[in-house]
Amino acid sequence: MGRKARDKKDRPRFVDAAQPAQAPHAAVRAARTRNLVALPEKAGLWAIALAILAAVCYLNALDTPFLLDDPINIGKNPVIQRPLSLAHLLLDQRAVVTASLRINYASSALAVASYHLLNLSAHILAGWLLFALAYVTLRLPVFETRYARAAEPLAATIAAVFLLHPVQTESVTYIIQRSEIFVSAALVAALLGFIAIDAKARRPGPLGFFAAACLIGAYSKPSFAVAPALLLLYDLCFLSRGRIAGLRDRWPAYAIAAGAAAWTFVLTTTAGSFEARTAGFSIEGIDPLQYFRAQIGVVVIYLRVLLWPSSLCFDCGYQGPWPVLASALGNSVALPAAILGALGAAALALWRFYPLATFAVIGSALALAPTSTFVPLADFYVEHRIYLAIGLVALALVPAVFDLSGALATRTGLSSGALRGTRRALAGIVLAALAMLTVARNQVFADPLRLLLDTVSKAPQSERTQYNLANEYKRRGEQDKAIERYKEAIRLSPHVARSYMNLGGIYLDQQRNEEAMEIFLAGSQNVPKMAMTHRNLAVAYARLGRYADSLAAAQRSLTVEPNNATGHNVTAQAFDQLNRRAEAIAEYEKVLELEPGHTEAKKRLQTLQAD
């Protein structure tokens, strides 16, 4: 056989749905169109196998303590500690997360194991949904019989890569990031419902499933707003292939998704969620253009850790893209922009011949759009943001390796049995490597000190990582190491108040009052708009017997925060020490007006009034 004839025979066959089907495949196309979302007979066995794989990788994470924002969002969250009302949930932009935390708290209070088990269960569910989506997608008419026989193992491999990838530890083991799992699962479920609507447009079941997925997604995380665009992309890549009639047939799904996306914007304007204000154009010190320029390099780093998951970093991007600055990209914009531009152009060029690549690249860009464009976020770089992107990229790469290995086997004369063995061995090696990396990553997460040391080693320029490490040393009683880290945090960000307060507090506990006064004085000068810095300085001056200076600092705190009971109490104490009895009484009365249960103020006021 000649080379040209052999090449033509070996080339993978692909059918554009916009063109008429070839006669030999018309029956196959018609049969599949009637039941696009049918799952394989062994779906249950695949589901059990995937669940076991994920569980094995995360068993060592069940005792991992609360991390970073977990104590605020869980331990100090009053919302989850009482029964939830429907009215509250309707205005909570992360109502699904809130309800899940309430379930955990009601069942086990603050015992971490139940929280981790729920995260792991949600992660496994997301993996099952991805398995179903991959299986259904690979059997769509657009691919003819290309993946017909291999759809099950390919879908299982895609789901396994997604479940076992070590980057996923940030969403699974870091409890509060279950929101990323929930919204991603909802997006995948919406895609499945979308396909079913295309196949059975007049039946209410698929439309109801789709609507439920959209509702869950809208109440999981605002990033569900990308749903309409993701559906349109899937439609163009695999279903309508650009035909207007095909797009028009699915208008109910687009209408529901658009409504859900609009509702997420409404929810973001409410105050129903228990979270810090760390997103939006009002974040001080972060310009939208600056943020966007940084994100060009950040997305390239996301791509790198997705394909080669080494040097993972738990908390490296607060108020700055440290992983980008620490990489070969440096401050460059041109190089990462060229990389992303070439990747996007290749994805568009492959739309007709390999739409899986188009969907993976553009779909991942859509998933990252809420966090990696012009809307500033306090965290420039967070690895859990690529949770869904890992599944989308696996959906393209695993079949690509399948195609490439088949083409190479044909050219080298490898038997079908040997080819199957080679593919299984390759999949086993990759999955085993991912599993070992995930287990190792969870071991790092299990020890807060080890995790923070690992983070600081990768992002030494991050004030927050230095501050959190100092707090951990302080919690363990290693005060000298805590002092060193607080000083480093102050050096990195002298206009952030928290390290001044904690460092000065350690000095006060150690009776190092002069040093405490110097630290608090620096804090009040560098962060004059925070009342606590002045109150702390007032306390330090009082320790040194400098009551006039203490009074001046306390009064400055009240100009910043007039109705703070602690500020009035410190002011009252300074007046008291200066024997200005009437003014001290007036301040103690103000304390009790603001905080009637203030025992110390009540006792001192009674003593002064009795004299």
| pLDDT of 16 higher than 70 | no
Q: What is the pLDDT of residues 50-61, one digit of tens each?
A: 999 999 999 999
More confident residue, 273 or 493: 493
What are the structural domains of the chain? Answer: 8-443 (no CATH), 462-562 (1.25.40.10), 564-611 (no CATH)
Q: Taking 50 as the threshold, does the pLDDT of residue 407 lie above it? A: yes
> Nearest 5°: phi and psi at 318?
-75, 125
- What does the DSSP 8-state code read for residue 12? P
Is the model's pLDDT at 23 over the cut of 70? no
Q: In 3D, which of 182, 270, 273 has the Cα closest to residue 220?
A: 182
What's the CA gap between 554 and 178, in Å, rounded?
Answer: 43
Q: What is the mean pLDDT of residues 574-600?
A: 93
In this prediction, residue 174 carries a pLDDT of 97
Q: Which pLDDT score is estimated for 277? A: 57
List, for residues 539-577, the tens digit of each pLDDT value.
Answer: 999 999 999 999 999 999 999 999 999 999 999 999 999
CB 256 within 8 A of CB 224: no
105-119, 262-276, 313-327, 534-548: lowest mean pLDDT where? Answer: 262-276
Q: What's the average model confidence in pLDDT over 89-94? A: 90
Q: Which residue has the higher pLDDT, 251 or 256?
A: 256
pLDDT at 2 over 70: no
- pTM of the prediction? 0.89
What pLDDT digit, counting tens, does each position of 189-217 carry?
Answer: 999 999 988 655 567 788 999 999 999 99
Helix (H) or strand (E) holding 394: helix 387-412
Side-chain-side CA neighbours of 357 within 13 Å: the count stands at 15
The lowest-confidence range among 67-81, 161-175, 195-209, 404-418 is 195-209
pLDDT digits (tens, 9 = 90+) for 469-527: 999 999 999 999 999 999 999 999 999 999 999 999 999 999 999 999 999 999 999 99
Percentage above 70 pLDDT, the chain: 91
Decide: 500 and 520 in contact? Cβ < 8 Å. Answer: yes
Q: How many whole angstroms separate alpha carbon 399 and alpha carbon 380?
A: 32
The DSSP result for 86-97, as a single string, is HHHHHT-TTHHH
Each residue's pLDDT tens digit, 209-242: 999 999 999 999 999 999 999 999 999 999 998 8
Q: Please tell me which residue, 104 or 7, carries the higher pLDDT value.
A: 104
Instruction: Judge contact between 384 and 171, C-beta under 8 A.
Output: yes
